[in-house]
Structure 1
Amino acid sequence: MNKRLSIQLAAALLASATLLSSALGLFRDRLLNGMYYDTYKVGIDAYTAAFTVPDFMFFILVSGALSVTFIPVLNQRLATGNKKSAWQLSSSLINFMALITLIASVLIIIFADPILRYIIAPGLSESGMALAVSMMRVIAVNPFLFAIATVIASMQQAVGRFAFLALAPTIYNIGIIIGALFFTSGITIFGVQIFEGGIMGVALGVVLGSILQLIVSSIGLIGLGFDYEFKIYWKNKGFRQVLKLLPPRSFDQGMDYAVSLVEMNLASRMTEGTLRAFQQATTLHLVPINLIGVAISTAAFPKMTERLGQGRPDLFRDELQGVLRVIIWIALPVSLITFFTRGYLVNFINNGGDALMSMLLGILVVAILFRSIYHIAARSFYAQQDTRTPLYISIVAISLNIILAIWFTFTLELGAAGLAAAQSIVAVVEVVILFMVMSRRIPGLFGNGFWSAVLRMASATGLMSLVTYFMVTSFPLGAGDNSFLASFPKFCLIVAVSLVAYVMLSQLMSLQEARPVVRRVKRVFFGRTR
């Protein structure tokens, strides 16, 4: 499991693990919605709000900011065989991030009440506010645990190890599910009840999941030869370089998450349950983005940095163009299928469906396509150790998102739909600006061949949408399809027929991305006969 993997195998592994993690996440949300969404909207809104600041601190301090700044610098040292410097850099980063996030966790515990009351969710009732504050203080340990796990995972990613990196998020969701299933009924040890239970048990499950994720990530270090030291090497050039690259990317991440804080603030002022409904629709639209954009770009990123490290910008351009085409080829049909099957998807996480969630997801499908593209587009700059350009573009995009969200909800009175519309519009704007800058920096990336392929992909998707629409109308959700087992087979049939049609259309339109899929299918079904 700790072997180095190719880009294709790594992408497949990450996508499969993301799919498993997402499936567990959907089961987690379905479990929580079934327990609280219809019966205790105040509680589920409070639970949703409690995550915001711990998640914000993690995203701004660690998350993608660390991996895209740390991996190129670490790869440079490993490529030249300077393992001593590489391990000093890694140890320094683990210790530095642990220290920073520990301070952040303590501050969250101290200031949870005013942060929630005046910034995050001022629209919560007093009972909801008290519950959110208590849960936030429990979840506050997450940034500290996640920071250490992320540095360890980035080390493995840099050397092409992806197995335990892919497994860790799944373990995290399992911890939360354990909390929902067992801790909510209370915890008793030797006949003494030490915890009464309730929705606070889910918060304890979150902490359990974080601890398990750190343990699993650490197993991935076996055989790497990592020599950990409880010390920060301030004079290490690689460490100083990472610290230099980190602030722009961290600020970029923080700005991106700031939109979520604004959206939560606005949603908390609407009717009870709106905050949870919007968060759930956002979670659903992130599943294909993580499966496609994040998984593929994460797998491709180390190779892209390696090409530049070899002094081969031509190979870097070819790698980037190939990955871009694959992401667009996959994301286009998935976005359309998500739109037509949004009723099924919402039914999976909330038994019986929910009209508000379904409407919001329908608006967010535009963001699925463009957010998937964004991840590889941004990483093309990070591979060149340029974290400032995506930052400047994000500042423009995020400012526009906040302005549109406030205008749509307050002036146009579109409610939660305005929040979703703002997200989709800004996703398009951000990718367009990134493409414009990339075309100037990387000549030949967007030639006639690229745009011809994209046009053929769009045509195949348009024709496939007719098939998807026919399938959805032929197999609609009925009154007896509320349960997961009743609706899932129909959903799978709709998706399977749609994707088969899309691959066949892509083959007819001579799209090279379809050839490996067709070859693999032929090998599976006709290989032995031949």
Structure 2
Amino acid sequence: MSTARKSLQLSFFTMGSRVLGLIRDRFQAVLFGTGEIASAWEVAYMLPNMLRNLLAEGVLSQAFIPIYAEAQGVSAERAARASGVVLVFLFFALSMIVLAGVLMFPWLLPIINKGQPNTAMLIELAQILFVFILFASLAAVLMGMQQSHQHYLIPALGPILLNLVFIAGYLGLFWQNADGPSAARQLAWIVVIGGFLQLALQVGWVVYKGWTPHLNLDWRNPALKKVLLLMAPAVLGASMFQLNQLMDILIASWFIPYEVGAIPALRYAHRLIQLPTGIIGVAIATVILPTLSRTLRQADEQQESRSEFTTAIQFSLFLTVPASLGLFILGDDIIRVIYYGGKWDTSSTTETWQALFYFSLGVPFFSLSKILTSSFYAWQDTKSPVRIMMAMVLLNMVLNVILVGPLAQGGIALSTVISSIGSVILQLLWIRRRGLHVDAGRFRRFIGRALTLWILMALLLWLWSLVATPWITTLAIPGGWALFPGNPVQYRAILIVLPAVIIAGPAYLAGAWLLGLEELQAIVRMLPWQRFWRRSVH
């Protein structure tokens, strides 16, 4: 099965998780807004998620997959022992990290939170939520095992289960009319339960498929040593990215007035851009890593490596650029559609849009960076990304200090985008030095056609926004908006965003068909009626 096809299939499941994540965020926005409780929750939830992004969705799985695949090539027994020793080591190491975090938070978090009035609540929430990282990281190893066996469904269902638990928790809080710190405290325990259920799902499927790890304490196992050697520099590099996030929070906490709600605004805006980058970038990176791990080390398959690499980059751009344009042109109305209501008011929308406006420019680069990083891991080269990331962290820190004054949280978002662009450029240059590069002729043809399509789509969205917004903003219907349950501000935004999606989506696909873009053909080949048509013809 091709990279494009696998990526699309995985993207569909990831999309389900991200859509559920938006529903979860909607409930959170209505319950907390961007006020004091929201700020405490975002910082407390960020801490385990920084480690989850570092381990569960980052270097742990990317370092483990090549080593597990190598052991799998020798024998099933060796693969079972390799996964078993890694799981046992992680359990003990992460238990110590969780304990250390719980004990250190009362001293560490007041520094991060700059003595704000919600510090006590922040400490309590962080101590509860930090347990989540233990379950998420162990689940990541089991997901990596399944991906090595070319099984992607159950790993993709893990985040879906977590979001369903989240949503059930919010519905329970609404049913109780829970509010304030009590609601936040209950929600923290719900997250921990969701993490445990996510781990249980992965354990059950791995055992069912007969890939049960042989748990052991053989610290001399070469697989453990290789994973740790791969992870060590990679953790340093990925921790640079997490340091970026932490610095963003510190800058927002120290330099932007507390009443603005800059921290929740940044986090909500970042989640919106994670929808396309998570669906597309993570899916393609997950699928391309095993392929590149196999082909890059075989001289007679270098052409296949180049072809897969080019396909991954083109496919990413084909899907992320229109998403970037949509967020850039219609972002403020998208925020109203998803978040508006309850404690989320016009001020919350304004502050979040200030960050999303700049974040939206970086969507293609955030996705490309994930794919390019996978290319380094395919070589088992974790040092090069570290060097690149260290340079970008320094750049981001300098830009944060320069831009936060005039642009507030928008400056923090813009700093992140500029750093990501720099990272992609350096990664491409580094990879080219290693002998892997895009097929220049094929890529030029793609860019020539796609650029025309992107310009036309931007014009279409801009004209729709220009014409529709003034009219819909003043629109009234017989009986008023009370005919509809909900908020008139949100419904006006829906009337702007929904037609734009209905018009621009098919127009983009039609343009891609007219221009003969192969990325569209890969999508069409996946459609069920296309398979039915082929069977009918034959």
Q: Which runs of 5+ in 2 are unaligned?
A: 475-480, 482-486
2:51 is matched with: 57
* Pair 1:400-2:395 in alignment: yes
- Give the 5 Å matches for 1:287-436: 287-308=275-296, 312-351=301-340, 354-409=349-404, 412-436=405-429
Greater CA drift, 68-77 or 312-321: 312-321
Q: Which runs of 5+ in 1 are unaligned?
A: 189-195
* Pair 1:286-2:274 in alignment: yes
CA separation of 1:444 and 1:181: change in aligned 2, threshold 3 A: closer
- Give the 5 Å matches for 1:15-414: 15-37=11-33, 41-80=35-74, 82-118=75-111, 120-122=112-114, 125-126=116-117, 128-183=118-173, 197-269=182-254, 270-271=256-257, 272=259, 273-308=261-296, 312-351=301-340, 354-409=349-404, 412-414=405-407
Q: Indicate the percent of aligned positions where both proteins have the same amino acid.
A: 23
In 1: Cα distance, 2:2 partner to 2:78 partner: 26
CA separation of 1:474 and 1:520: change in aligned 2, threshold 3 A: farther
In 2: Cα distance, 1:364 partner to 1:241 partner: 36
**Could you tell me which amino acid in structure 2 is paired with residue 34 of structure 1?**
V
The question of whether the paired residues in 1 share the 8 Å contact of 2:288 and 2:374 is answered with no
Root mean square deviation, CA, Å: 2.8
String of CA shifts for 1:133-191, please: whole Å, max 9, x gaps: 01011101011111111111111111111111001111112222233232577799xxx
CA separation of 1:143 and 1:525: change in aligned 2, threshold 3 A: closer
Shift in Å, 1:475: 3.9
2:478 is matched with: none
Shift in Å, 1:293: 0.9
Shift in Å, 1:75: 1.0
In 2: Cα distance, 1:456 partner to 1:254 partner: 38
CA separation of 1:262 and 1:250: change in aligned 2, threshold 3 A: same
Shift in Å, 1:260: 0.9
The question of whether the paired residues in 2 share the 8 Å contact of 1:108 and 1:137 is answered with yes
The question of whether the paired residues in 1 share the 8 Å contact of 2:82 and 2:223 is answered with yes
2:519 is matched with: 513
1:193 is matched with: none
CA separation of 1:372 and 1:151: change in aligned 2, threshold 3 A: same
The question of whether the paired residues in 1 share the 8 Å contact of 2:296 and 2:305 is answered with yes
The question of whether the paired residues in 2 share the 8 Å contact of 1:156 and 1:221 is answered with yes
**Could you tell me which amino acid in structure 2 is paired with residue 305 of structure 1?**
S
Shift in Å, 1:370: 0.5
State TM-score, norm by structure 1.
0.89
**Could you tell me which amino acid in structure 2 is paired with residue 392 of structure 1?**
R
CA separation of 1:219 and 1:344: change in aligned 2, threshold 3 A: farther
Shift in Å, 1:256: 0.2
The question of whether the paired residues in 1 share the 8 Å contact of 2:322 and 2:454 is answered with yes
**Could you tell me which amino acid in structure 1 is paired with residue 287 of structure 2?**
A
In 2: Cα distance, 1:253 partner to 1:482 partner: 43
In 2: Cα distance, 1:467 partner to 1:187 partner: 44
In 1: Cα distance, 2:232 partner to 2:56 partner: 10
Shift in Å, 1:502: 2.2
In 2: Cα distance, 1:343 partner to 1:461 partner: 21
CA separation of 1:7 and 1:453: change in aligned 2, threshold 3 A: closer
Choose the corresponding residue for 1:457, options 450, 463, 467.
Answer: 450
Q: SS in structure 1 opposite 2:407?
A: coil
CA separation of 1:371 and 1:137: change in aligned 2, threshold 3 A: same
In 1: Cα distance, 2:529 partner to 2:412 partner: 46
In 2: Cα distance, 1:46 partner to 1:27 partner: 20
* Pair 1:495-2:501 in alignment: yes
In 1: Cα distance, 2:532 partner to 2:515 partner: 23
Give the count of matched residue pairs.
Answer: 512
Q: SS in structure 2 opposite 1:63?
A: coil
**Could you tell me which amino acid in structure 1 is paired with residue 23 of structure 2?**
F
State TM-score, norm by structure 2.
0.88
CA separation of 1:227 and 1:295: change in aligned 2, threshold 3 A: closer
Choose the corresponding residue for 1:473, options 458, 461, 466.
Answer: 466
2:477 is matched with: none
